[in-house]
Amino acid sequence: MTASISATIAERLLAWYDANARDLPWRLPPGEPLPDDPAWPYRVWLSEVMLQQTTVSAVKPYFEKFTQTWPDVEALAAASDDAVMAAWAGLGYYSRARNLVKCARAVAERGGFPSTEAELRALPGLGDYTAAAIAAIAFGRRAVVVDANVERVVARLFAIREPLPKARKAIRAAADRITPDARAGDFAQGLMDLGSHICTSKVPRCLLCPLSELCEGRRQGAPESLPVKPPKKQVPERSGTAFWITRSHGTEVWLVTRPGTGMLGGMRALPDDGWSARVDGSGKPPLAGAWRSVGAVRHGFTHASLTLQVLAMDTRDQPRGEGQWWPVAQIGEAGLATLFAKAAGLALAEA
């Protein structure tokens, strides 16, 4: 592909983005100068971390809650781990929340966000994609930003048929060729929007695409077959048990905090029998007594699917291990991970 065609792609994509950009709370309008505000890179960083493996619609209320509670990186750095983990509850992939706090503290200590990809990559929890996105969108640097939507658009545009993940090197090189020096952030966001709404995974809307005349995948036919994905691996089925332990006639429930590393690390939860992505649960209940079954919940993780039995008991005894009694009427404020929020809902429905 010649330099002139690469320039044409950039021009057409930016013109389309100027007319069709999504209105999102973490974005500037297309072409608007970057604000001279230290909170701007914070908002870009926060949104990019939240958007990893998560939909825009799911992220919006979390982004608004976080920015109202912690309006800048210094405020987030000063927050307790428990407060951040509770605010993150339900957004999933909880290692992101743990890294969010670590990164905020590192940025606050150095006096602000760095502006280069290399410096950004050195921050906790920031990989190549996030560093490039922040450099381009927050600081106007030329950076090659490749997420799943961009990957799909570029693979089709250049008809890259090597299967993923090996194709990613060629996709990145192709994205580099078409990324302009000016407005690299708008260009990256334009490609993301194009992949989200036009160059969709199953039924691409080629007639509405500003790049259709230049798309080699469309010319060759069946652009929806690109990028070529490897067969999906079957995830293992796991099983476990969660324990709904109440006292004072069901007005308080025993909650624990999971270890800082591992699945759902650092989150408040119901006590359980030690299940993980690799091991079925087999541990003993934290109390001896007459347990009753209130049913089971299903939950899918990246590396496993889980069926979690929920056993309940009202007691006057103190469960083993560390934990706290939490008012059942305020269980929605406990910041339970989605899995345990499902289990709590089941227990409450059966109470």
pLDDT at 310 over 90: yes
Q: Which residues contact 133 (CB under 8 A, 6 or more apart)?
A: 44, 48, 143, 145, 147, 188
**Could you tell me where in the chain the CATH 3.90.79.10 domains are found?**
237-350
The predicted-structure confidence for 205-248, as pLDDT tens digits, reads as follows: 999 999 999 999 999 999 999 999 988 888 899 999 999 999 98
Q: Does residue 252 carry a catalytic annotation?
A: no
- From the list 32, 48, 74, 119, the catalytic residue is 48
> Do residues 343 and 297 make contact, with C-beta atoms less than 8 angstroms apart?
yes
Cβ of 314: how many Cβ atoms within 10 Å? 18
Pairing of strands 268-269, 292-300: unpaired
- Measured CA angle at 167 (ends 164, 173), to 5 deg: 145
Model confidence pLDDT, tens digit, residues 116-165: 999 999 999 999 999 999 999 999 999 999 999 999 999 999 999 999 99
Domain with CATH 1.10.340.30 in the chain: 3-225
DSSP type of residue 350? H
pLDDT in tens, 328-345: 999 988 889 889 999 999
Q: Which CATH number fits domain 237-350: 3.30.420.40, 3.40.50.970, 3.40.50.170, 3.90.79.10?
A: 3.90.79.10
Fold annotation for 3-225: Endonuclease III; domain 1 (1.10.340)
